[in-house]
């Protein structure tokens, strides 16, 4: 009984932790380069969920497709799209690629626009100013969704057949959880390689370590910042779509709690450190799930934030905080 | 090659440069000397685009570069090795050098230049995989210079390369500057160590509180009574 609870909560915690890690990377990327906490990032997660939902509806809703085909004759070939996208494993795969692709690109550009218009004019202002601007963007986006889309939660359609796979010992993992974990790990590995190996990735690291010196190398700082504001929100959007699929609905306020938890995860791992954000995300997800399993689900947030306080007291730099001694 | 025309640079309300004009010809070593706060580093930073002059202009190879962002000035081939090294502490020596060559895409050329700087500074080759922040001060200065060389500069601007270093290392740094100049680089050198800087320079400018006090060939300035009193510690 005990072992199976631990096992099951580990599986759940890994799934949740993967989503936290995806969001936490956005906080840590932006902080590493701008030394600013992008409080609007939780809304990137929320927007990703909505964009994903609408894309999915477009692809799978027969009425929409039929109507579109009536207005736009060239769409008539799409008549059988719904069958294609949901009918087979391959179609489903293509469907997911489109849904996640659209969500990542749309929300990525949203992030770039937000940086351009809400943060860049404040680049030389006191540090509190962009922070307040970020909170403003967050409130704006939440209310925009509330006003223009819906104030109530919208159910997220079930596209993929979800069934549980027994792992033995009373522990099971659902196909959706596998999808979330695998996609998350692939994305994390891609980002890690990108930052460690590619020229642009190295330029991002250089910029985060010394912005002016990076400029002296010929690196265009504004492009690097824009790139960070594309990648972070794009990853957050993936987490948003997963959250929609996993919890079965989306709402305008869905970003708040995961946002603040992922920020916690980034701080636990050492804000500004990419691997720290990944570690912090998974650690937080697992601890929270274990707390929910053994204490009560009402205590999971208490435990999560208690961990944050402990880390801040005993390792203020975070678990993987910088330890390199910088000589003068 | 480089022509600075009467630039005035401000830090907020404070006028740090009160009309600096200077020139660097291709193939020269030109040095700017002066006391702390005379405006030497400010002049370099204004040329590299880190600061924008309020009045005046800067020309490089006939085109105006004042007012351009740093990375555009770098693209023109004006490379600044900043004061205090400013190497990327959490990147390896090799990665730091790669960043120096950020604007280049000739893989073979980059590799050749990397071999070249490793030959100049064998210590860096030994530490190629080490993080920049773990190097000693002298090694960091070597890395900063090597990183500048990796950009294949037309004009290399060095800001206080000898600051805080042991005499042996200072000598090595100056030898390297002379060598670089012989192999075709034009150099603009800012130094507090006036004696050494003037000894290797073709021409020098003496800065005092944001203006140019004196100018002339390095050897002449070295003999100049005022310079000897003020900057070479003679009584």
| CA-based R_g, chain A, Å | 21
CA distance A59 to chain B (A): 42
**What is d(CA A250, CA A308) in angstroms, rounded to the nearest whole number?**
27
Give the mean pLDDT of B15-37: 94
Per-residue pLDDT at B120: 92
Question: What would the pLDDT profile of A51-101 be if each residue is shown by its tens digit?
Answer: 999 999 888 877 777 777 777 666 656 666 677 777 677 888 888 999 999
**What is d(CA A314, CA A66) in angstroms, rounded to the nearest whole number?**
60
**What is d(CA A237, CA B148) in angstroms, rounded to the nearest whole number?**
40
Token digits for A110?
């949203």
Per-residue pLDDT at A92: 85
pLDDT at A1 over 90: no
**What is d(CA B39, CA A39) in angstroms, rounded to the nearest whole number?**
40
Q: Collect all residues with Cβ–Cβ distance below 8 Å to A110 and sequence separation of at least 6.
A: A44, A47, A233
Q: In a 3-state reduction of DSSP, which class is residue A18?
A: helix
Per-residue pLDDT at A162: 84
CA distance B234 to chain A (A): 30
| Inter-chain CB proximity B74 and A217 less than 8 Å | yes
Q: In a 3-state reduction of DSSP, which class is residue A8?
A: helix
Per-residue pLDDT at B156: 97
Whole-angstrom distance between the N-terminal and C-terminal Cα of chain B? 37
Give the mean pLDDT of A5-34: 94
Token digits for B209?
């509180």
B208 vs A: CB within 8 A:
no
CA distance B213 to chain A (A): 29
Q: Which domains does chain A have, with CATH numbers?
A: 2-154+165-314 (1.10.3470)
Per-residue pLDDT at A76: 59
CA distance A30 to chain B (A): 18
In A239-310 the beta strands, taken as DSSP E runs, fall at: 249-250
Lookup result for tokens 């060389």: B149
User: What is the overall mean pLDDT for chain A?
Assistant: 90
Give the mean pLDDT of A227-256: 96
pLDDT at B21 over 90: yes
**What is d(CA A320, CA A304) in angstroms, rounded to the nearest whole number?**
18
- For A203, which of B79, B102, B135 is closest by C-beta distance? B102
Q: Which of A310-324, B97-111, B164-178 is the least confident region?
A: A310-324
* Residue of B207, B224, B102, B214 whose CA lies nearest to B151: B102
- For B99, which of A206, A322, A324 is closest by C-beta distance? A206
Per-residue pLDDT at A73: 65
Per-residue pLDDT at A326: 39
Token digits for A140?
């704006």
Lookup result for tokens 């600061």: B51
Contacts of B69 in chain A (CB under 8 A): 215, 220
Q: If you measure CA to CA, which chain A residue comes closest to B77?
A: A218
- Burial profile A212-245: b = 16 or more Cβ within 10 angstroms, e = fewer: ebbbbbbbbbeebbbbbbbbbbbbbbbbbbbbbb
B6: left (phi over 0), alpha (psi -120 to 50) or beta: left
DSSP A143: H
CA distance A216 to chain B (A): 6
Beta strand pairing status for B55-60 and B203-208? Answer: unpaired
Lookup result for tokens 């636990």: A268
CA atoms within 13 A on the CB side of A45: 31
Contacts of B135 in chain A (CB under 8 A): 327
Per-residue pLDDT at A80: 66
Contacts of B95 in chain A (CB under 8 A): 202
ipTM of the prediction:
0.91
For chains A and B, CB pairs below 8 A equal 84
Give the mean pLDDT of B21-41: 94
Percent pLDDT > 70 in chain A is 94
Give the mean pLDDT of B208-216: 93
CA distance A202 to chain B (A): 8
CA distance B224 to chain A (A): 34
- For B136, which of A221, A324, A327 is closest by C-beta distance? A327
- For A326, which of B50, B69, B133 is closest by C-beta distance? B133
Contact A95, A52 (CB under 8 A): no
Per-residue pLDDT at B213: 92
pLDDT at A328 over 60: no
Per-residue pLDDT at A4: 87
Whole-angstrom distance between the N-terminal and C-terminal Cα of chain A? 57
pTM: 0.90
| Inter-chain CB proximity B50 and A215 less than 8 Å | yes
* Residue of B86, B22, B26 whose CA lies nearest to A215: B86
Per-residue pLDDT at A324: 40
Question: What would the pLDDT profile of A194-211 be if each residue is shown by its tens digit?
Answer: 999 999 999 999 999 999
**What is d(CA A135, CA B120) in angstroms, rounded to the nearest whole number?**
52
**What is d(CA A276, CA B107) in angstroms, rounded to the nearest whole number?**
33
A327: buried, middle or exposed (CB in 10 Å: 19+, 13-18, 0-12)? middle
Q: If you measure CA to CA, which chain B residue comes closest to A203?
A: B99
Contacts of A124 in chain B (CB under 8 A): none
Give the mean pLDDT of A3-32: 94
pLDDT at A325 over 50: no
**What is d(CA A203, CA A31) in angstroms, rounded to the nearest whole number?**
16
Going by pLDDT thresholds of 50, 70 and 90, the confidence category of residue B126 is very high
B147 vs A: CB within 8 A:
yes
Per-residue pLDDT at B56: 95
**What is d(CA B205, CA A86) in angstroms, rounded to the nearest whole number?**
76
**What is d(CA A141, CA A311) in angstroms, rounded to the nearest whole number?**
32
Higher pLDDT, A78 or A238: A238
| Inter-chain CB proximity A215 and B80 less than 8 Å | no
* Residue of A274, A273, A260, A272 whose CA lies nearest to A304: A260
B88 vs A: CB within 8 A:
yes
Q: If you measure CA to CA, which chain B residue comes closest to A328?
A: B137
DSSP A322: -
Q: Collect all residues with Cβ–Cβ distance below 8 Å to A87 and sequence separation of at least 6.
A: none
| Inter-chain CB proximity B48 and A218 less than 8 Å | no
- DSSP per residue over chain B, as a string? -EEEEEEEEEETTEEEEEEEEEEE-TT-EEEEEE-TTSSHHHHHHHHHTSS--SEEEEEETTEE-TT--HHHHHHTTEEEE-TT----TTSBHHHHHHHHTTT---HHHHHHHHHHHHHH-HHHHHTTTSBGGGS-HHHHHHHHHHHHHTT--SEEEEESTTTT--HHHHHHHHHHHHHHHHTT-EEEEEES-HHHHHHH-SEEEEEETTEEEEEEEHHHHHH-HHHHHHHS---
B11 vs A: CB within 8 A:
no
Measured CA angle at A88 (ends A86, A89), to 5 deg = 105
| Inter-chain CB proximity A327 and B103 less than 8 Å | no
Contact A40, A26 (CB under 8 A): no
| Inter-chain CB proximity A218 and B103 less than 8 Å | yes
| Inter-chain CB proximity A209 and B88 less than 8 Å | yes
Question: What would the pLDDT profile of B135-172 be if each residue is shown by its tens digit?
Answer: 999 999 999 999 999 999 999 999 999 998 999 999 99
Question: What would the pLDDT profile of B103-117 be if each residue is shown by its tens digit?
Answer: 999 999 999 999 999
Give the mean pLDDT of B166-195: 93
CA distance B70 to chain A (A): 6
Q: If you measure CA to CA, which chain B residue comes closest to A323?
A: B90
Higher pLDDT, A237 or A297: A237
Q: How far is CA B68 from CA A72, B52, B76, B155, in A?
A: 49, 8, 11, 16
DSSP A154: E
pLDDT at A225 over 50: yes
Token digits for B201?
């320079």
Contacts of A214 in chain B (CB under 8 A): 88, 99
Per-residue pLDDT at A75: 60
Per-residue pLDDT at A64: 74
């Amino acid at each position: 009984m005990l072992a199976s609870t631990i096992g099951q909560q580990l599986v759940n915690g890994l799934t949740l932790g993967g989503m936290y890690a995806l969001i936490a990377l956005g906080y840590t990327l932006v902080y590493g380069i701008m030394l600013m906490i992008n409080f609007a990032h939780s809304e990137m997660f929320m927007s990703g969920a909505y964009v994903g939902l609408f894309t999915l509806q477009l692809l799978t809703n027969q009425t929409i497709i039929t109507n579109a085909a009536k207005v736009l004759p060239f769409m008539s070939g799409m008549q059988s799209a719904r069958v294609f996208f949901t009918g087979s494993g391959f179609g489903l795969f293509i469907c997911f690629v489109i849904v996640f692709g659209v969500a990542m690109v749309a929300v990525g550009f949203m992030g770039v626009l937000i940086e351009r218009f809400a943060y860049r004019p404040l680049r030389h202002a006191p540090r509190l100013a962009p922070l307040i601007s970020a909170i403003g963007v967050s409130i704006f986006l939440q209310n925009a969704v509330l006003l223009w889309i819906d104030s109530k939660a919208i159910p997220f359609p079930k596209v993929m057949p979800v069934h549980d796979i027994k792992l033995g010992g009373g522990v099971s993992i659902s196909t959706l959880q596998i999808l979330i974990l695998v996609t998350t790990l692939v994305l994390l590995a891609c980002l890690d390689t990108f930052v460690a190996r590619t020229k642009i990735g190295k330029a991002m690291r250089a910029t985060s370590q010394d912005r002016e010196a990076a400029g002296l190398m010929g690196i265009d700082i504004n492009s690097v910042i824009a790139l960070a504001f594309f990648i972070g929100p794009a990853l957050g959007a993936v987490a948003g779509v997963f959250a929609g699929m996993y919890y079965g609905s989306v709402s305008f306020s869905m970003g708040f709690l995961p946002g603040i938890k992922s920020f916690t995860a980034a701080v636990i791992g050492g804000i500004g450190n990419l691997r720290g954000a990944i570690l912090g995300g998974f650690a937080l997800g697992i601890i929270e799930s274990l707390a929910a399993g053994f204490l009560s689900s009402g205590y999971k947030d208490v435990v999560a934030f208690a961990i944050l306080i402990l880390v801040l007291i005993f390792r203020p730099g975070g678990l993987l905080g910088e330890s390199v001694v910088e000589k003068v | 090659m480089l022509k600075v025309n009467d630039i005035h640079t401000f830090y907020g309300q404070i006028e740090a440069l009160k009309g600096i004009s200077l020139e660097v010809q291709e193939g020269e070593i030109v040095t700017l000397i002066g006391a702390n706060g005379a405006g030497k580093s400010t002049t370099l930073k204004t040329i590299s685009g880190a600061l924008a002059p309020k009045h005046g202009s800067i020309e490089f190879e006939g085109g105006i570069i004042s007012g351009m962002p740093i990375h555009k000035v770098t693209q023109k081939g004006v490379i600044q090795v900043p004061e205090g090294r400013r190497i990327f502490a959490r990147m390896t020596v090799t990665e730091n050098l790669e960043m120096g060559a950020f604007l280049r895409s000739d893989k073979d050329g980059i590799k050749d230049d990397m071999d070249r700087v490793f030959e100049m500074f064998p210590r860096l080759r030994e530490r190629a995989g080490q993080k920049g922040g773990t190097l000693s001060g002298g090694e960091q200065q070597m890395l900063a210079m090597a990183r500048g060389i990796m950009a294949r500069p037309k004009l290399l601007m060095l800001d206080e390369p000898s600051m805080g270093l042991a005499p042996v290392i200072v000598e090595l740094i100056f030898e390297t500057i002379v060598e670089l100049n012989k192999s075709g680089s034009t150099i603009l050198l800012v130094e507090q160590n006036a004696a050494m800087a003037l000894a290797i320079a073709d021409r020098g400018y003496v800065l005092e509180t944001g203006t140019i006090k004196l100018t002339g060939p390095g050897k002449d300035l070295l003999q100049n009574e005022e310079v000897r009193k003020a900057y070479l510690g003679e009584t």
